Amino acid sequence: MDWSTYYPKFVDSTTTGTPRQLVKDVTVADIGCGFGGLLMALSPLMPEELIIGMEIRLRVAEFVQQKISALRVQHKDDGLYQNIACLRANTMKFLPNFFKKSQLSKIFLCFPDPHFKARKHKARIVSTTLNSEYAFVVKPGGIIYTITDVEDLHVWMVQHFEKHPTFERLSKEEEDSDPSVKVMAIETEEGKKVERNEGQKFIACFKRLEDEPWI
């Protein structure tokens, strides 16, 4: 994966060759980032991390990348927003093409499409198979954050992550003390919409456990 065009300020100038290497890896992913509100909120809160938004709709992904470019120009003096980017991807098909094993420390799944009908459940971005892909790209100790306003989907996500041997749900106390949970709850476009409509938000976070030793 050539990340150099996404994070030009982080290209390692001491190396040559293609693709150009970065001085650090992308470690945070917002899957189905929509219009990128969470990316822009996380950028100043996690200045040491490289954060990627992944969005299946081409026009939306382009819009977010253009917005980030504009913010970078506006903030050229303080260097803000260099650590976020957005790419067009169908993560259900191609997530492991983008990351090495254990590369990520956080994945956000914010207000994923609910796909209400039973015959559409296979399109949900949480499933037994996809959870194994998340387990591959997230390092032990890393966290998957989920939030939705659809209780049925919340129950589905909790069931699928709890059933997976590599994940353990965080306690309410752990969730409450994690600043990323607070940001996720208020900064996405969908979250704001739910807030305006005085809807409920269901949050669940899951820690990626160490792998069992091979016998």
108 - beta bridge partners?
A: 30, 145
Q: Is 145 in the site for ligand SAM (CB under 6 A)?
A: no
Catalytic residue chosen out of the listed positions 113, 176, 178, 211: 113
Q: Is 34 in the site for ligand SAM (CB under 6 A)?
A: yes
- Residue 32 annotated as lining a ligand binding site: yes
- Classify residue 96 by burial, with Cβ atoms within 10 Å: 0-12, 13-18, 19+: middle
Q: How far is 73 from 67, CA to CA, in rounded Å?
A: 10
Name which of 92 and 181 has its Cβ closer to ligand SAM.
92
Q: How far is 112 from 177, CA to CA, in rounded Å?
A: 24
- Classify residue 121 by burial, with Cβ atoms within 10 Å: 0-12, 13-18, 19+: middle
**Whole-angstrom Cα Rg for the chain:** 17
Q: Is 91 in the site for ligand SAM (CB under 6 A)?
A: yes
Q: How far is 167 from 207, CA to CA, in rounded Å?
A: 5
- Residue 190 annotated as lining a ligand binding site: yes
Q: How far is 183 from 199, CA to CA, in rounded Å?
A: 17
Q: Is 85 in the site for ligand SAM (CB under 6 A)?
A: no
Lookup: tokens for 150? 């659809």
Q: Is 55 in the site for ligand SAM (CB under 6 A)?
A: yes
Task: Count Cα neighbours of 203 within 13 Å in the Cβ-side half-sphere.
Answer: 20
- Residue 90 annotated as lining a ligand binding site: yes
Q: Is 175 in the site for ligand SAM (CB under 6 A)?
A: no
Among 11, 56, 130, 158, binds ligand SAM (CB under 6 A): 56
Contacts of 198 (CB under 8 A, 6+ apart): none
Q: Is 204 in the site for ligand SAM (CB under 6 A)?
A: no
Q: Is 137 in the site for ligand SAM (CB under 6 A)?
A: no
Q: Which residue has the tokens 């971005």?
A: 125
Q: Is 111 in the site for ligand SAM (CB under 6 A)?
A: yes
Name which of 100 and 192 has its Cβ closer to ligand SAM.
192
Among 39, 54, 194, 205, binds ligand SAM (CB under 6 A): 54
Name which of 22 and 40 has its Cβ closer to ligand SAM.
40
How far out from the chain centre does Cα 165 lie? 21
| Residues with catalytic roles | 113
Residues contributing to the annotated binding site: 32, 55-56, 90-91, 110, 188-190
Residues contributing to the annotated binding site for S-adenosyl-L-methionine: 32, 55-56, 90-91, 110, 188-190
Interface with ligand SAM (CB under 6 A): 32-34, 54-57, 60, 89-92, 110-113, 125, 188-191
